[in-house]
Amino acid sequence: MTRKILLIDDDRLQFSLTRQYFKAFRATEFELEWQETYEGGLHALMNGNYVACLLDYHLGVRDGLELIREATELGCKVPIVFLTAETGSNVDIEAMNAGALDYLVKGEFSAKMLERSLRYALKLGSTMEALRLLATRDELTGLLNRRVFEGVLKEEMERSRRFGRSFALALLDIDHFKSVNDTHGHPVGDAVLRELANRFQSCVRSVDRVMRYGGEEFIILMLESDLGMARALVERLCAEIREEVVHADGKELNITISAGVAVFPTDGNNRNDIVQAADLALYSAKENGRDRMVAYVDIPKS
DSSP secondary structure letters along 221-254 = EETT--HHHHHHHHHHHHHHHHHSPEEETTEEE-
Instruction: Note whether 93 and 187 are same-domain residues.
Output: no
pLDDT, tens digit, for every residue of 128-144? 776 676 678 888 999 98
Question: Average pLDDT, stretch 252-277?
Answer: 96
Instruction: Let me know whether 260 and 151 are in one domain.
Output: yes
Query: Is residue 216 annotated as a catalytic residue, yes or no?
Result: yes
Q: What pLDDT score was predicted for residue 274?
A: 97
Q: How far is CA 251 from CA 149, 178, 179, 245, in A?
A: 32, 16, 15, 10
Give the CATH number of the domain where residue 235 resides.
3.30.70.270
Catalytic residue among 216, 235, 240, 252: 216
Q: Provide the number of structural domains found in the chain.
A: 2
Within this chain, do residues 235 and 159 fall inside the same structural domain, yes or no?
yes
Identify the pLDDT of residue 61: 79
Domain match, 194 and 81 both: no
Last residue of a domain, one of 134, 168, 197: 134
